Amino acid sequence: MHIEKKLHNGIKSLKKKDYLEAIHNLEEYIAHNNTNYLAYYYLGLAYIFRELYDEAYTHISKAYQLNKNDTNIINAIAFLNLKLNNIDEAINFWLDILDVDKNNHTARRNLNKVKKSNNSERLVSTASPDEFISFKLKKDLNLNLKIPKILKIPRIPKIRIRRRYLRRAGIGLIAIIALFIIFKYIIIPNRL
């Protein structure tokens, strides 16, 4: 199987919440390509959702080393710090996200949860990835899957028709139908 297909299958499995299959595919992909930060990030997410936080930390940290600007990776590191009882470190990571992106709702929401919590032990034990991590597939993910030329379908150019032209065409069609009815049922029978 083409190695890029492993990445694709791993991400699909992650979206389907089949975390064991995601881990299998993503680890196999990383064994052949260890420079893709998204592969490490998605593998870390699979471990997070399996509640294997030490393994998750290893892979999310590697993703962070490869790309320190991705707020999703920083959020995952913050969550892992929270689960590993490093609450101050988690708060610092969420504040770092807000320094980069003041409108980041995930970081704000997570900081508010920590702020409202009176019992840090309870917060650490009850914090779930579903509450703190918003998993979205990266739109810019280019899997570079090779498609044989035979299977490539030529793109058909889109024809843009403005609404006003459609409205005019509809009105014209209604007028033609009305004239047809007038001629067929009123004018022609009167001639006979």
Considering the domain architecture, whether residues 185 and 95 belong to the same structural domain is answered as no
Considering the domain architecture, whether residues 69 and 107 belong to the same structural domain is answered as yes
SS (H, E, C) 89-103: HHHHHHHHHHHHCCC
Taking a C-beta distance cutoff of 8 angstroms, is the pair 32, 3 a contact? yes
Q: Which residue has the higher pLDDT, 161 or 59?
A: 59
Considering the domain architecture, whether residues 56 and 111 belong to the same structural domain is answered as yes
**Amino acid type, 129:** P
In a domain, 145, yes or no: no
Which of these three, 81, 115, 132, is where a domain ends?
Answer: 132
Say if residue 2's pLDDT is above 60: yes
Phi, psi of 95 (to 5 degrees): -65, -35
Residue with tokens 């490490």: 40
Considering the domain architecture, whether residues 108 and 167 belong to the same structural domain is answered as no
Sign of CA dihedral 21, 24, 29, 30: positive
The token duo for 11 is 């991400």
143 DSSP 8-state letter: -
Considering the domain architecture, whether residues 29 and 69 belong to the same structural domain is answered as yes
Averaged pLDDT, 52-66: 92
| Structural domain that includes position 165 | 161-191
Considering the domain architecture, whether residues 128 and 167 belong to the same structural domain is answered as no
Considering the domain architecture, whether residues 108 and 170 belong to the same structural domain is answered as no
Considering the domain architecture, whether residues 64 and 123 belong to the same structural domain is answered as yes
Task: Indicate the Cα dihedral angle 49, 134, 143, 66, nearest 10°.
Answer: -80
Whichever domain contains 52, its CATH number is 1.25.40.10
Q: How far apart are CA 148 and CA 165, in angstroms?
A: 40
In a domain, 53, yes or no: yes
Kind and range of the H or E run holding 166: helix 163-182
Say if residue 162's pLDDT is above 80: no
Considering the domain architecture, whether residues 18 and 92 belong to the same structural domain is answered as yes
What's the pTM value of the predicted model, to 2 decimals?
A: 0.68
The token duo for 55 is 């393994």
Give the chain's domain count: 2
- Name 37's Cβ contacts closer than 8 Å, sequence gap at least 6: 62, 63, 66, 67, 70, 73
pLDDT in tens, 102-139: 888 888 988 888 888 878 788 787 787 877 887 666 54
In a domain, 153, yes or no: no
